[in-house]
Amino acid sequence: MSTDTPRTDTLRTDDPRARDPRTDPGHDRRDEPAWLLVTRREVVSRITDKSFLLGTAFMVVLIAGFIGFNAWQEERTDSVTLAATPDSAAMATAIEDAAPEVDDNVAVTVLEVDDRAAAEAALRDDEADGWLHPTDDGWQLTSESSEQGSLTDVVRAVVQQQVLTDNAAEVGTTVDALQAGSTVTTDFLRGDAERAGVAEAVGFVFVFLFYFAALVFGMQLASSVIEEKQSRIVEIIAAAIPVRHLLAGKVLGNTALAVIQLLVYLVVGLVGLSFTSYKSYVPALSGPTAWFIAFFLAGFIALACLWAVAGSLASRTEDLQATSTPLTMLMLVMFFGGLSLDGRGQVIASFVPPVSAVVMPKRILAGGVEWWEPLLALGLLAAFAAVTVWVGERLYRRALLQTGGRVSLRQAWSAAE
C-alpha cells in the first residue's frame, strides 16, 4: 500500500515567495530596523491621541479666527454721527465729504442741531458720537464720556487741511506751496521697506512657533523617557534593541510630529492671509517659509536630543525640572533673542547655533540677505545638530539605565557602557 507524503507549506530560503510580503505579512516588519519601529510607535501613539488632535485643532481654529477677525476689522466700516450747530455746519460737511480719503473704514454722517443744548442732548441720548464747534483758538470735538478714536483722527486731519487751505488763500498761496519740501519718507539700508511691517509680524510667528513646538514636544519627549525609566520598561526595551535606536526613534518620531503640526499651521496661516489685504505678500513669503522649515528641522532635532538627555538624567518626574533647567534657559534665550535682536547683533546671532534657527529666517523675511548667508547658517546649525546628537547619544545611553536618583552630566559622561 502506498502512502502519500504529507504536503508542507514550508518555503525554501531561496524561494522568491519567502521574501514576498504578501505571502509573509510579518516579514517586512521583522526586517525593519529598530529605530524605525520606535519612530512608528511614537508617531502612531501621538497622532491617535485625542489631546494631541484637539490641541492641534484648537490652534488651527485660533489661527484662522485671528486672521478672520483682522480681515473683518479691515473690511468693517465704522459709522459715526457728528453733530453740528449752524456755526460749524460747513466744516462738518467738509469732514463728511473728505472722511473716506482720510480713512476708508470711517463713514461720517452730519446731524444738524439748532444750538449747544440740542447738541449736548444728542450726545446724551446717543444720537451723535461727537459735536464739533469752534473755539477762540480753533475747533473742539466734544463727546459724551469717551474718546472717539476714529472720528477724532478724521476730524483732526480734515480740519487741519481745511484751515491750512483757508489760511493759504488769505495770503495768496496754496497748501502745496506751503508744504513743499516737508515730506518725510522712510527707507532701509537692508531689505524692502514695503515688506517691513509684514516681515516683523511673520517673524514673530516663526519665533513663537519654534519655541512652542520645541517646548511642548520636548517636555513630552522627556516625560515619556522618565515614565519608561521609572516603570522599568526601558530595561526590557534595552534588552531587545540598542539604546541608540531607541533614542533615534524617539527623536525622529517627535520631529515628524512637530513638522507635520508646523506645516498645518503654516498652510492655514498662508491660506488665511490670502483672504486679507496682505494677500499680495503671500508669494513673497513662500521662500522664507521654506527656509524656516529647514532651519526648524535642524534646530528641533538638536533640541529634541537634548530633551531626551534631560529625561534620561532624571529618575522621577519630579527631577525633570532640575535636569531640564539649562535647556529651558537656552530656549528662552532663543525666544527673546529672536524677538529683540536687531542690527549687527542680529547678523551675528543669525550664524550662531541654535539661535540661528529663529534669527536667520527673520533676516530672510526682512530681505537684504546674500544668497550664501542662509546656506552657511544652515550648515553651521546642521553641524551643531550632528555634534549634539553624538554627545546626547552618549549621555542618553549611559544615563538611561541608571536608577536610584538624579544622574549628573559628569556621572553620565564617565559611566561605563
Residue 26: what pLDDT? 44
For residue 38, which of 217, 345, 248, 257 has the smallest C-alpha distance? 248
The mean pLDDT of 387-404, rounded to a whole number, is 86
Residue 126: what pLDDT? 85
Instruction: Please report which confidence band the pLDDT of residue 47 belongs to, taking 50, 70 and 90 as the band edges.
Output: confident
| 286 plus 380 within the same structural domain | yes
| 316 plus 404 within the same structural domain | yes
Cβ neighbours for 185, distance < 8 A, ≥ 6 positions apart: none
**Single-letter code of the amino acid located at 62:** L
Residue 186: what pLDDT? 60
Report the range of poorest mean pLDDT among 117-126, 269-278, 366-375, 402-411.
402-411
Q: Give yes or no for residue 315 having a pLDDT over 70.
A: yes
| 60 plus 104 within the same structural domain | no
Report the range of poorest mean pLDDT among 72-76, 165-169, 201-205, 259-263.
72-76
Choose between 190 and 319: higher pLDDT. Answer: 319
Q: Give yes or no for residue 152 having a pLDDT over 70.
A: yes
Domain membership of residue 244 (yes or no) is: yes
Burial class (CB in 10 A: 0-12, 13-18, 19+), 310: buried
Q: Give yes or no for residue 416 having a pLDDT over 90.
A: no
**Residue that is last in its domain, among 123, 150, 178:** 178
Choose between 74 and 236: higher pLDDT. Answer: 236
| 401 plus 319 within the same structural domain | yes
Residue 316: what pLDDT? 84
| 162 plus 224 within the same structural domain | no
| 173 plus 271 within the same structural domain | no
Q: Give yes or no for residue 330 having a pLDDT over 90.
A: yes
Residue 195: what pLDDT? 61
Strand blocks (E) in 328-394 = none
| 145 plus 204 within the same structural domain | no
Domain membership of residue 23 (yes or no) is: no
The mean pLDDT of 364-387, rounded to a whole number, is 93
Instruction: Please report which confidence band the pLDDT of residue 399 belongs to, taking 50, 70 and 90 as the band edges.
Output: confident
**Residue that is last in its domain, among 178, 201, 218:** 178
For residue 233, which of 410, 384, 38, 89 has the smallest C-alpha distance? 38
Neighbours of 256 (CB within 10 A): 16
**Single-letter code of the amino acid located at 391:** V
Residue 14: what pLDDT? 45
Query: Which residue pairs from 384-390 have beta carbons closer than 8 angstroms and sit at least 24 positions apart in sequence?
Result: 384/298, 384/302, 384/353, 384/354, 385/298, 385/299, 385/301, 385/302, 385/305, 385/353, 388/302, 388/305, 388/306, 389/251, 389/301, 389/302, 389/305
The sign one gets for the Cα dihedral 153, 154, 157, 159 is: negative
The mean pLDDT of 207-215, rounded to a whole number, is 94
**Single-letter code of the amino acid located at 226:** I
Determine the structural domain holding residue 94 and report its residue range.
79-178
Q: Taking a C-beta distance cutoff of 8 angstroms, is the pair 397, 244 a contact?
A: yes
Average pLDDT value over all residues in the chain: 83
Q: For residue range 48-68, list pLDDT tens digits in order.
A: 888 889 989 999 999 888 888
Residue 347: what pLDDT? 93
Neighbours of 8 (CB within 10 A): 6
Domain membership of residue 104 (yes or no) is: yes
Q: Give yes or no for residue 140 having a pLDDT over 80.
A: yes
Instruction: Please report which confidence band the pLDDT of residue 385 belongs to, taking 50, 70 and 90 as the band edges.
Output: very high
Residue 11: what pLDDT? 37
Q: Taking a C-beta distance cutoff of 8 angstroms, is the pair 35, 250 a contact?
A: no
The mean pLDDT of 118-128, rounded to a whole number, is 87
| 143 plus 209 within the same structural domain | no
Instruction: Please report which confidence band the pLDDT of residue 415 belongs to, taking 50, 70 and 90 as the band edges.
Output: low
Q: Give yes or no for residue 324 having a pLDDT over 50.
A: yes
- Whether pTM > 0.75 for this model: the answer is no
Q: For residue range 240-249, list pLDDT tens digits in order.
A: 888 889 999 9
Q: Give yes or no for residue 19 having a pLDDT over 70.
A: no
**CA-based diameter of the chain, in Å?**
135
CATH number at residue 153: 3.40.190.10
Q: What residues pair up with 133 in beta bridges, in sequence order?
A: 140
Domain membership of residue 207 (yes or no) is: yes
Residue 360: what pLDDT? 95
- Could you give phi then psi for residue 401, rounded to 5 degrees? -95, 5
Q: Is beta strand 130-135 parallel, antiparallel or unpaired with respect to 138-142?
A: antiparallel
Q: Taking a C-beta distance cutoff of 8 angstroms, is the pair 249, 37 a contact?
A: yes
Domain membership of residue 14 (yes or no) is: no
The mean pLDDT of 403-412, rounded to a whole number, is 78
Which residue shows C-alpha cell 508542507? 8
**Residue that is last in its domain, among 178, 200, 225:** 178
Domain membership of residue 20 (yes or no) is: no
For residue 8, give the 3-state DSSP assignment. coil
| 109 plus 243 within the same structural domain | no
Domain membership of residue 74 (yes or no) is: no
Domain membership of residue 71 (yes or no) is: no
| 223 plus 364 within the same structural domain | yes
| 130 plus 231 within the same structural domain | no
Q: Looking at the 3D structure of the chain, how many domains does it have?
A: 2
Q: What residues pair up with 132 in beta bridges, in sequence order?
A: 84, 141
For residue 364, give the 3-state DSSP assignment. helix
Residue 189: what pLDDT? 47
| 209 plus 314 within the same structural domain | yes
